Structure 1
Amino acid sequence: MRLPSINTLRRVAVPLAFGGNSEQQHTYFAELHRVGMVTQLLGIIAYSLTWLMMPEPYHPNQTHAVLALLGMLTSLIVRYRCTTLPVLTITGACAVLTLTFGLRTMADAVHHASFWVLPVGVFMTLAIASIFNGGLSYLAVVAGVWWNVGHGLYPVNAGLPDESWAPLMIAVSVLFGLALNVSFSLLRLRNYHSKVELTRLAFQDGLTGLNNRRMFTQRAQQMHGAPHGGMLYFLMIDIDDFKVINDQQGHDAGDEVLVRTAAIIADKAQGHLCGRLGGEEFGVVYAGDREAVRAFAGTLVEAVSQGFLAAQFVSISVGVAELDRGKDLGHSYRLADEALYLAKRQGKNRYVIA
């Protein structure tokens, strides 16, 4: 069985421990915001009901009880208005700690507080596993939870056989809670990577790695619509006799020609927009004057013809047209297509400027 590499382990372990990079945190924000809001509302409701349903003989410290409620409400308001994951984490921690402080205040008002706060601590440890992204922040808040509910109470029966039950329940709940937290974080991380991959597939050609037609057109429109841009030229590139290559040598050989041609175009077009438009057609938006684009087109034609000489002869034809900012993008595309057709008629393996 092949073991994961150090880089793979680091790529997974770092987000699980620290919550991920800024882009991942931005992606997680909406989900954690919703989950945290619901969890905090339920916590405030549970706390209020606990206070209201306390039997008559028992009266909690009013100052502590009110301060805890105010802390929870303030955290809820701040969470509702916040826009970043670090602030979300801080408000969540404040909400959890004020809630456990309030529940400890209630438990102190009745007999056998050590009995009541143990299930409260276990429940809180498990309930908050989903609202913190990153194991370290979760463990820090859990430590605060157990200090809040347990300080001054344990061990209950020092030296007796049941003394070990409280720390055992605490340890088990923390381990289960950490497992839940890691599981939720892994799901978020997996969803994030799936989203990144889907975005890549949506805008990148799967065979050649160049921009696909959708991405190429979007970026070309942005460049064409820029009010203060320089001269732009559109190059429509077609592999000559590509159908013959496919028919005589097979589609695998055709794919190899596409990949190698795309690599040559990408290498020569560094700094200029390029992409695969479909089939054996490619496009480049070249920023420069007429002489510069003429030299570039000639270099491109020569580079492709030279790049395949060892195995076979492959050439391209190129149609070039200026991107007229006074007309729509389709007009320039049509001019480039007409120039490409003319290059084919003139013998292929050449470029023509409209």
Structure 2
Amino acid sequence: MKYLYAGDADFQHQSFLELRPIAVWTQLLGEVSWLASLLLAHTHRQIDLANALLVSLIMLAGTLLSLNAGHRHTLLLGMLLNLCGLALGFRLSMLFVTDTSLWATSIAVCITLTMAPVFQSSYSFLLASCCVWGILLQGTLEDRRLWQQDSLIALLTVATLASGLTLNILFRRLRLRGYHLRRDLEALAFQDALTGIDNRRSLLEKLQAWYPAQHGHFLMVDIDDFKSVNDDFGHEAGDQVLQQIARKLSGHPDVALCGRLGGEEFGLFTRLLDSQRVSELAAQLIQRVNTCSVEQRRLSISIGIVQMDGRIGLSAALRQADNALYQAKRRGKNGFVLAPSSPPPPQPHPLAQAG
């Protein structure tokens, strides 16, 4: 029953946001059409104002419920309420027509096909369709001309429901395809295609959103002698090295953010505030990478660490981490350097304030 599949929770929420305004406008169109039928059909006959007001309130309540819906179930309830009111309204209009059978079946077909694309669930669509057909055809039970051709009515009902169900499935699958396409594009835009972790853009945007409210340490990591890996073993081996190290870095429980800054360089953020614990984290990451190898050549990394406590901006913190990484490289690689903490900003002298 994959064609009746309504998608995962995220897709259903996205569909709800997309379909809510469409559902509201479709309901308003139905209400306007019903009002037009009252005004244009046999204007010399008196309208039952009490019943007309009642069905108007039912339709309006359904529309308002759909308009203010915060969840797809509330939207569904509003749509069902509006459709029942609409069907009752058109049944009321049957008092002004001579051929009630033609009127009832025509309206049922129009409502069924019009509302088909708006429903998220095929089961909900079938339930709503049965309600509409039941309400409209209930007033035609005494029409012998109609029910003498019950096989044709059954055929029309089945054909309409099948067509509506096809439209419902088709539009849902189109929305599902668009949802998957957008999700894939977002992954390409914010995820490194080779390693599967955040790319530079995604990592920096997350850091910008977290900092300075979120304090911790930033670790800039560079693979030692990566160029020689590509030169000696080929770029395919280099890609495998990047994937291995990305898994080792991102898999540590104390690493809150991990992204590839470019080439063989990675950026990590940890919420650890104590410099001793951050140093232990860096040593553990180095040990993790040392267990990796390519063609029996052990891999190693160098790390530059900077404290991010809100006293300096993000750009300055990244520069300090890069400088610390450069020092780690100069000290022989396969190690880490913790950048000195930035001094607090100078405070104005009390005498200067008094002056």
Give the structure-1-normalised TM-score.
Answer: 0.87
Q: Would the alpha carbon gap of residues 345 and 42 (structure 1) be closer, same or farther in structure 2, given more than 3 Å must change?
A: same
CA contact (8 A) 1:319 1:338 kept: yes
Q: Would the alpha carbon gap of residues 164 and 353 (structure 1) be closer, same or farther in structure 2, given more than 3 Å must change?
A: same
Q: Would the alpha carbon gap of residues 67 and 351 (structure 1) be closer, same or farther in structure 2, given more than 3 Å must change?
A: same
d(CA) in 1 for partners of 2:44 and 2:274? 90
Q: Which residue of 2 aligns with 1:15?
A: 6
TM-superposed CA distance for 1:245, in Å, is: 1.6
Q: Which moved more, 1:325-334 or 1:108-117?
A: 108-117
d(CA) in 2 for partners of 1:261 and 1:37? 51
Say yes or no: does 1:115 pair with 2:99. Answer: no
- Consecutive unaligned residues of structure 2, counting only runs of 5 or more, are 340-355
Q: Secondary structure at the match of 2:98?
A: coil
In the TM superposition, 1:70-81 aligns within 5 A as 70-81=57-68
TM-superposed CA distance for 1:42, in Å, is: 1.6
Say yes or no: does 1:336 pair with 2:344. Answer: no
Q: Which residue of 1 aligns with 2:296?
A: 311
* Among 68, 78, 82, the residue aligned to 1:95: 82
TM-superposed CA distance for 1:223, in Å, is: 4.0
What is the RMSD computed on CA atoms of the aligned residues?
Answer: 2.5
Residue-pair matches, total? 338
Give aligned-pair identity as a percent.
34
Q: Would the alpha carbon gap of residues 234 and 163 (structure 1) be closer, same or farther in structure 2, given more than 3 Å must change?
A: closer
Q: Which residue of 2 aligns with 1:136?
A: 123
Say yes or no: does 1:322 pair with 2:313. Answer: no
Q: Which residue of 1 aligns with 2:283?
A: 298
Q: Quick one: which amino acid aligns to residue 328 of structure 1?
A: G
d(CA) in 1 for partners of 2:294 and 2:34? 79
TM-superposed CA distance for 1:51, in Å, is: 0.7
Q: Would the alpha carbon gap of residues 75 and 272 (structure 1) be closer, same or farther in structure 2, given more than 3 Å must change?
A: closer
Say yes or no: does 1:186 pair with 2:173. Answer: yes
TM-superposed CA distance for 1:324, in Å, is: 4.1
d(CA) in 2 for partners of 1:60 and 1:327? 75
CA contact (8 A) 2:221 2:302 kept: yes
Say yes or no: does 1:278 pair with 2:262. Answer: yes
TM-superposed CA distance for 1:65, in Å, is: 2.4
Q: Would the alpha carbon gap of residues 155 and 312 (structure 1) be closer, same or farther in structure 2, given more than 3 Å must change?
A: farther
Q: Which residue of 2 aligns with 1:6?
A: none
Q: Secondary structure at the match of 2:334?
A: coil
Deviations 1:202-226 (A, max 9, x none): 3221111112222222333344312
d(CA) in 1 for partners of 2:189 and 2:277? 32
Deviations 1:10-52 (A, max 9, x none): 6x74416xxx52x333312332122122212221221111111
* Among 12, 23, 32, the residue aligned to 1:45: 32
Q: Secondary structure at the match of 1:111?
A: coil
Give the structure-2-normalised TM-score.
Answer: 0.86
- Consecutive unaligned residues of structure 1, counting only runs of 5 or more, are 1-8
d(CA) in 1 for partners of 2:278 and 2:43? 89
Say yes or no: does 1:260 pair with 2:247. Answer: no
Q: Quick one: which amino acid aligns to residue 265 of structure 2?
A: E
